Every structure is written in C-alpha cells, then in structure tokens.
Structure 1
Amino acid sequence: MLVNYCNPIISGFHPDPSICRVGDDYYLVTSSFEYFPGVPLFHSKDLVNWQQIGHVLTRTSQLNLRKAGSSGGIYAPTIRHHDGLFYMTTTNVSGGGNFYVYTDDPWGEWSDPVYVDQPGIDPDLFFDEDGTVYYTTSNDTIGQGAYQSRIDVQTGERLSDISLVWKGSGGQFPEAPHLYRIGEWYYLMISEGGTEYGHMVTVARSRRPDGPYEGCPHNPILSHRSLLKPVHATGHADLVQAADGSWWAVFLGIRPVGYPMHHHLGRETFIAPVSWTEEGWPVIGDHGTVGEAMPAGRLPLQPQPELPVRDDFDNPVLAPCWTFLRTPDHENWSLTDKSGSLTLYGSPVTLNEADTPAFIGRRQQHFAGRFAAQLSFVPQQNGEEAGLTVFMNERFHYEIAVTRTAGERKLIFRRKLGTLWKIENEMPWFSDTVVLTVTADKSHYVFGFAEEGKEQVVFGKGECGLLSTEVAGGFTGVFIAMYATGNGVHALAPAHFDWFDYEAYE
C-alpha cells in the first residue's frame, strides 16, 4: 500500500531550511530574521513529522537584534554534524556578519558565536574526509556566485584566500550554497532567481572541493517557474541521506492564494525525494516539481501528537513556538508576576516602529483557524493599550485592543496599511477582562470580542492579502501576537494574558 505525506512539512514562516542526520535522528533549522530567539530548531525520526525542540540562538551574547530592520537579522542557516559536535552557521546581516555556534547536545545550549572573516550571506560548512573545513558563502559585494575559503574550525580563522568557485547557471542572485561529497564527486548546490516566483535550484560538481565546477546539463533540478501549481517559489534546498540509503531534499516554497497571487503565511519548509540519473546528477521530486501530496516511500512515518490548543502560561518558561520582536527587554514581560498568566508591561515603543515593543507572538501556520486570548487590563493613563495584533511588519498590521483615550477606556479595532492608519471601530469598555478573538480563512481576518459568559461580537475585518509579502514586502510571514504599549511613555498598568488559544481549522 502506497502511503503519501503532505507538504509543507513545517508550515508558516519557516524559510531556508537546512538539515542533518545523526543515526536515526534528523535535525532541521530555518531562518528567523528579526525575531528572537533565533534559528528555530526541529527534530524528527522520519523526515516528515517534526517537533520544535527550541532555538539555536537563545542568549543576547549570541544574538543582538537591537538595530535589525524588518527582514534584517538572521539569514539562512546551515546545520551540520561532525566528530561528535553539531555546528550551525548563519549571518546576522544587522551586525556581526557570518558566524557559527556549536554544541554536543542540540537539545541544550549552544556556544557563543565564532566569527568568520568572510563577507556574504547563506554560509555553508563542509568537513572533508581529510579534515579540511571549507566555508562557502554567496557574495554579491564581490560578484555574484559562490565564494569559498578554508578555515580553522577551532577559531574561525581563514586559512586561505576567498575564491569564486561557481557563478551558477546564469540566473540572478546565486545564493544558498551547500557543498557535499557523494562518492567520488563534490556537489555544489545553490539557488538562483531570487527567493520569489522565479526561484530555482541548480547544481554543479567537481573532483575537487575548490573546483573547477561543471554545471548539471539538466539545470534547474527544482523549479516551479511559470507553472500552474499550488506551490511556488521552490528553492533554497539542502540534501540529506536517510538511514535506508534514500536521498531527500528539504527546501522552501510558498502557497499563494487569489489572483493576482499573494502569500501571507511566509515561506514554508517542504520535502521531496531525490533520484539520481545514470550520469550521477540529482533530480528533485518529479523531474524538478513537487506536490502537496508526495509518496513517502520507505520512510517510517511516526506522526507527532497534536499540540494543545490552549497555552495557560503555567510553565516557568515559554513554549518554543513563542518569539519576541527583536532582542527582548526583560522588564517588559513576566511569567511569574501573576501566577498562570503572561504579563506584558507596555513600553514607549509601538507596533509602528522598527524597534522592540512589548510583543510575544507565534507564527500563523494555517490559513484557517481561530486565535484568541483572555486579557485582564485596566489602563491607568491615556495611551496605554494592550491586545492582539495580526502582524506582518511595522508598516502592515491589524489590532483589536483595549486602550484609554481622553480619560475613557475603549475597545478598538485598527488597521495600518503603509501610510494609511485608521481606527475603524471603537466603543466604550467597562469590564476589566475581555476575550479577544481573530478568526482566519484564506482571504480575511475577522476580529471579535466577548465578555465573560456572553456571545462573541464581531468588531472588525481585514484582508489577508494586504498583509502579504506581495503588498507589505520582506522575507517573513504573519504573526499572531499579544502586545502592550504606552504609546510614547512607559505604561503604568500591566496587561495580564490568562491564556492563548491557537486552533487550526485545516
């Protein structure tokens, strides 16, 4: 009996996947950009069902996002295992450049950064059989293509000059290099065309790790350019060999909706089988295309238990799904100030600034769902505000919130779309507690509220497409977040979120 698996394997804003296998265990990382902690880390036993076990960059000594603009911060990571250690290398484009961290236990803490004096982005670490370590980046500052040096992995010091090893097949933005030794060949796989609708994966090979490289005559080996498919922008791939000897590729893709097409969940992680031609070239999926349902082959599928809908904030630490917007200020939040609640203290920073507001959110990973939180909040001074936001970036977001204006407490629904900003609905509010809700489908968000023991009231509506990458720009995806602000001053009143629900409908 043939068994299929479903793509994406990690939904929502989880782009630029990289993967490694250690025995029967698989580990995968993705980009995180301006969100903290950095580099989500996943574990799987079967390549299809994944559990987030944490993040790689969890300390401010590893990651400073204070000056990160929207879609700045942490770009594409690579994860590798060598001689008992896990390595993750990435770029902080907002400060510090290329670095790697390491650990002997991926479930625990990772080291402080080791920086590499090599420009570019999307770094790759390759450990050759003779002990030589190659560091490869894509570098538009020098010239488009994959650039490489040898490094001392103990110190990060370069042991050679940086040299161009392959320009790619001719597409724009040759990026995301990954180097492998398979048999007698060294394979260099990159992405071209930009991480958009023209995205594609190409590959070259050489008898030497430093080239010269010969491009595959069948390039691109993965692309959905100009195809009528539910998945687009496929690219940024990484190869892994399963325990049974089969080969697989993880890669990013998007699932746009509507016409003209737009996507708001962000770039997601997909997987496809890899076959090999008689000449020894890799072929991803069905001659370079993939579907939402794909044959699992001999993979020993082990579905993960579903995560609970409700987070009661009873644990001493936040669940791995929760993230902050840039490096958090610890005085802005607490899990202990009110037992069984997440407490936010509004700072002067608002959601309209490329800064660090009191904001704790999670990625929207499903088109259809209901997201809700119970908020206890009594604003003490004008401008204090707390609620739920559907957030793409500081220029594009929607809110339902409790605030205080001209001495009066109000419930508001607001939309910010570029330079357009409007409170579209408001009403006096007298209760100290409210349940705020966001219900989503592929086209709209519906915002509502409910008093204790009463029916939900619809209070506002916003289009998903106006928070899409095609409108709002950038490389991220939509977050559903709890937030608080003093709108220019420090808020006096704490905002207590007693629980948060994430209920998927698909």
Structure 2
Amino acid sequence: MTPSPITYTNPILPGFYPDPSITRAGDDFYLVCSSFEYFPGVPIFHSQDLIHWTQIGHVLDRVSQLDTRKSKSSGGIFAPTIRYHEGTFYMITTEIHGKGNFYVTATDPAGPWSDPIIIPYGGIDPSLMFDEDGKVYVTTQQGADYDSHAIQYEIDIATGAALSEPVVIWTGDGGPWTEGPHLYKINGMYYIMSASGGTAKEHREIIGRSSSPYGPFERLEQPILTHRGTDSPIQYLGHADLIEDRNGDWWAVFLGVRLVDSKYTVLGRETFLAPVTWNEDGWPMIDNNEDIVGVDMKVPRVPGQSPKPALSGRYDFEDDVLPFAMTFLRNPAEASWSLNERPGWLSLRGQSKGLSDIGQVAFIGRRQQHTSAEWSTLLDFNPTVDGEEAGLCARLDEHAHYEVGLVQKDGHRVIAAQLTIDGITRVEAEVPITAERIYLKIQAELTEYTLLFSLDGQEWNKLSTAAAYPLSPQAVKGNGFTGVLIGLYATGHGKVAEVPAHFDWFDYRS
C-alpha cells in the first residue's frame, strides 16, 4: 500500500526569521537565523520532521559574545551558518561594525556556547565545511554589489588561525550581491552554492561544482531556486542551505516573503522549506520558476515527527526567565528590566534612549508572525516626572514604529497614540487619564494597524488607525533587513525613569 503524502504549510518559520541555515545530528535537525540588532542573537530551533520547529534558545546570549548596544537597525548579526561535526556544533557569522567574522562552539545546541573565535578574512556570510581529509574550509562573501564574490581559505578549527591565504573561488552569475556561499561535498564532488541578485525581486540561488574545493567551478546556467518575474504569492526566494536526512532525501531551507498587493510585507523575510531533487546530470534543483515552492506543500515523506509549536498565546511572566520568543532591542541596560522586582509581572525601567534612538532602549518584544493578529497587555505605571512613558509598540526600526502608552505630560497622565514614519513622530490622539492600570492593544489587519486602550479590559477605545506599509522593510530608505516586532517598552526621554512600568502579561492572538 502506497503511504499517503505528507502536507505542510510554508513558511515553516513565519515572521522575521531570515537567512536560515540547517544542520543534522542523528535524527535531530537544528536551524538558525539572522537576528541583526536584537539580543540575544541567533535564535536556534530544533525539529525531527523539518516542518515543525521549537525554539530551544539563542546562540549568542551574553555580552562577551555579542554587543549590539550601538547597532543601528539592520546592523548587528548577519547570516549565521550552523554545522555539526564529530560531537560539536559550530555557528559562524558576521557582526557588522563589530567583531567581523567569528564562530562559537557547543556540545549541546541549547547552550552554553563558547566565547567567539575570531577569523581573519572575509566580508559577510561565512560558512564552514569539514572535509573528509580533516581540513576545514571557511567560505565567505567579499566585495560589494557587482563586485561581490566568494573567497575561501583553510583554518585551524581549534584556534581560528588561517592555514592558507584566501583565494577567490566564485564570482556568481554576473548579477549583484553574490553572497551567502556554502561549500558542500556530495558524492565525491564539491558544490559551491550562493545567492545572487540582492534580497528583493531579483533574488535567486545559483550553484557550481568541481572536483576540487578551490575549483574551478562549473556553473549551472540556470538558478536552482527563484520566483523572479512570476506572479507567485511567495517572492524574493534565495539564501538557501541544503541538508540530507537519514532516508537519503534532500531538502533546502531558504528565505522568502509573502507580499501584500505584490508590494510589501511587515513580516519581513521568512524561512521556507522545499524538497530537493537531483536531475540526471547530477545537479540539485529546488524551484526555478516552476511553481514548486508554495504555501501548501505536499511531499512523499518526512524524516520524523515533531510537535506543532504554539505561535500565539499569553506570556504571564510567572517564570524567572523570559520566553525564548521574546527578545530585547539591543543589549539591555543593567537594571532596566526584571521578572523578580514584582513577582508575576515584567518590570521595565525607562532609559534615557527612546524608540527613535540608537542605544539601549527598554523594549522587549516578539516577532509578528501573522498579518491579522492582536496583541494586548495590562500596564501598571505611576509616572511622576514629565516625559516618562510606557506602553505597547509595533516596531520596524528607529525610523518607523507605532505605539500606544501612558505618558506623563505637563504634570498629568495621558493615554497617547503616536506614529513614527520616516523618522518623524506625530501624536495621533491623547486622552487624559487618572488611572494607573490600563489595558493596551494593537490590532493588525492585512493593510493597517489599530491602537486601542481600555480601563476594564472589556470595552475598548480606538485611538488611531495607521497604514501597515510604513512599517515594512520595503518602505525603508536603503536596506531594511528586519520585520515588525510587537513589544512592551518604557522610556524616560532623556534620563532614566524614576519609577518602573509593570506589565502583568503579554498576549498574542492570531
């Protein structure tokens, strides 16, 4: 009897989880993504079926590993690669305007991970390959735009020291931004795979092969993955990584976006999964404008079974650690947050920096993973100094964010709805209030956000509705690599707040 096909839904990691990389240890798969300015850095996930992923921690969870205190949005950590070799896990990545290229190690992927081991060469997107003869290669991007290419050199994996000079091994297909390179050895041949075309509508994945790790590489003329020039609801496909399961089946994880009106998405670049087929000429193929990668996928089999994670629900802050899905905006300032100051509540003490500033901001949030959803919280806050503020925020970056919160203004408290678009903040509504406890809510629909408050949690008052597009990376001047996070914030607007804001819970409903 032929087994029934397995169905699954893309993306496998919805929301701002770009630049996926994957490795396998026995029956277990582990996946990491870029985190940019957010801290802890590099979320790590576990699965046995490749479809359902549970976050087990972050790779970079202390300041000795990652310091993003001065990172601009879309700075910080770029494009990690994860590999497993002889009982040890390796994660290699780039800290822009910081350490540069480095890797960390762990015997347990849930951590702790080592302090960084710095490596000497390359621009961004480094990858590791452990060859059968014991050599370890770093393959990494270098150059910019049409001059982007991949260099490669051998390292001592114990120290990070280079054992050879870097050599240019891959110049791509003539398009800009040849990046995210990975070297594999498969059936005795070396394959070099990379993205090309930039991370928007021309994004694609290309591949070459050689009998030598340094090439020369024969390039397959066509991309092995792209949706450029199509009307598919999933676009920008690329930045892929390959993995073989225990059944001998091959898979690819890669980034893509689900555009609204073919124009924008507030969710950012998400992680997708597709099977890989090998053609008769020995090339791996995923989807070259063939409509293989879709939202609804059907495959003959998957390698195991994993529980389906809950993407929505309530965090009640009863534990002494934050849920893994919640993240800080940059490294938090000392004493800026606590789960113990008021047990059962999250306490945030506003810092001198606010949501429009670069620096240590009191903000804890989680990625928006649905275009239609709502987030709410109960805030207990008794400010006594003008400028002190706390509330609920939808954040893309320091130039684009919407918030509803309680503000001390001219000696009085107000509930305010504020919109920051293209770096300009305007107050949409203010309501005088005497209560210290208020309920706050942000509702998202496909094309807009609504900011609301309530005094009893039952009857809600709308303060403002704003378009979603200004919070999309497509609205960013220059490069916007992140997606929207919804979170809790506090600020003293120029100085540390005298009193903390307390949040009883944080609720996410899709």
Partners in 2 of 1:213 and 1:407 — Cα distance? 69
- 2:123 aligned with 1:120, yes or no? yes
Alignment correspondent of 2:463: 459
Alignment correspondent of 1:328: 332
Partners in 2 of 1:491 and 1:281 — Cα distance? 60
Q: Which amino acid aligns with 1:36?
A: F
Q: Which amino acid aligns with 1:55?
A: H
Q: Is the 8 A contact 2:170 2:217 kept in 1?
A: yes
Q: CA deviation at 1:166?
A: 1.0
Alignment correspondent of 1:276: 278
Alignment correspondent of 1:80: 83
Alignment correspondent of 1:29: 32
Superposition map of 1:1-150 within 5 A: 1-140=4-143, 143-150=147-154
- 2:405 aligned with 1:398, yes or no? no
Q: Is the 8 A contact 1:122 1:176 kept in 2?
A: yes
Distance 1:284 1:308, change over 3 A: closer
Q: Is the 8 A contact 2:12 2:53 kept in 1?
A: yes
Find 2:493's aligned residue among 487, 491, 497: 487
Q: Is the 8 A contact 2:183 2:193 kept in 1?
A: yes
Q: Which amino acid aligns with 1:338?
A: R
Partners in 1 of 2:6 and 2:58 — Cα distance? 31
Superposition map of 1:317-396 within 5 A: 317-396=321-400
Secondary structure at the counterpart of residue 439 of structure 1: strand
- 2:483 aligned with 1:477, yes or no? yes
Q: Which amino acid aligns with 1:475?
A: F
Q: Which amino acid aligns with 1:75?
A: F
Secondary structure at the counterpart of residue 105 of structure 2: strand
Find 1:426's aligned residue among 425, 430, 444: 430
Alignment correspondent of 2:176: 172
Q: CA deviation at 1:453?
A: 5.6
Alignment correspondent of 2:167: 163
- 2:207 aligned with 1:195, yes or no? no
Distance 1:13 1:239, change over 3 A: same
Distance 1:88 1:419, change over 3 A: closer
Q: Alpha-carbon deviations, 1:199-248, whole Å to 9, x = none?
A: 0000000001111111013x211011111011000000000001211000
Q: CA deviation at 1:66?
A: 1.9
Q: Is the 8 A contact 2:400 2:421 kept in 1?
A: yes
Secondary structure at the counterpart of residue 99 of structure 1: strand
Of 321-330 and 199-208, the range deviating more from structure 2: 321-330
Q: CA deviation at 1:287?
A: 6.2
Unpaired runs of 5+ residues, structure 2, are none
Find 1:262's aligned residue among 261, 264, 271: 264
Partners in 2 of 1:418 and 1:118 — Cα distance? 36
Partners in 2 of 1:387 and 1:82 — Cα distance? 45
Q: CA RMSD in A?
A: 1.3
- 2:420 aligned with 1:416, yes or no? yes
Q: CA deviation at 1:184?
A: 1.6
Partners in 2 of 1:307 and 1:194 — Cα distance? 30
Q: Alpha-carbon deviations, 1:381-435, whole Å to 9, x = none?
A: 1000000111000011111010011101100001011143210100101111011
- 2:299 aligned with 1:293, yes or no? no
Secondary structure at the counterpart of residue 493 of structure 1: coil
Q: Is the 8 A contact 1:435 1:449 kept in 2?
A: yes
Partners in 2 of 1:379 and 1:85 — Cα distance? 50
Q: CA deviation at 1:303?
A: 3.7
Q: Alpha-carbon deviations, 1:241-294, whole Å to 9, x = none?
A: 0121100000000011025x1111110000111001111001004766411111
Partners in 1 of 2:394 and 2:434 — Cα distance? 24
Partners in 2 of 1:115 and 1:366 — Cα distance? 37
Q: Is the 8 A contact 2:53 2:309 kept in 1?
A: no
Partners in 2 of 1:393 and 1:305 — Cα distance? 27
- Residues matched between the structures, number: 502
Q: CA deviation at 1:179?
A: 0.6
- 2:451 aligned with 1:450, yes or no? no
Unpaired runs of 5+ residues, structure 1, are none
Q: Which amino acid aligns with 1:503?
A: R
Secondary structure at the counterpart of residue 466 of structure 1: helix
Find 1:242's aligned residue among 237, 241, 245: 245
Q: Is the 8 A contact 1:222 1:288 kept in 2?
A: no
Alignment correspondent of 1:498: 504
Q: Taking structure 1 as the reference length, what is the TM-score of the superposition?
A: 0.97
Distance 1:133 1:288, change over 3 A: farther
Q: Which amino acid aligns with 1:117?
A: P
Partners in 2 of 1:450 and 1:287 — Cα distance? 49
Q: CA deviation at 1:301?
A: 4.5
Q: Is the 8 A contact 2:180 2:195 kept in 1?
A: yes
Q: Alpha-carbon deviations, 1:144-195, whole Å to 9, x = none?
A: 2110000000000001111100101111110000111000210000000001
Secondary structure at the counterpart of residue 77 of structure 2: coil
Q: CA deviation at 1:307?
A: 5.3
Of 305-314 and 334-343, the range deviating more from structure 2: 305-314
Q: Alpha-carbon deviations, 1:66-88, whole Å to 9, x = none?
A: 22111111000000001110000
Q: Is the 8 A contact 1:273 1:285 kept in 2?
A: no
Alignment correspondent of 1:213: 217
Q: CA deviation at 1:460?
A: 1.1
Q: Taking structure 2 as the reference length, what is the TM-score of the superposition?
A: 0.96
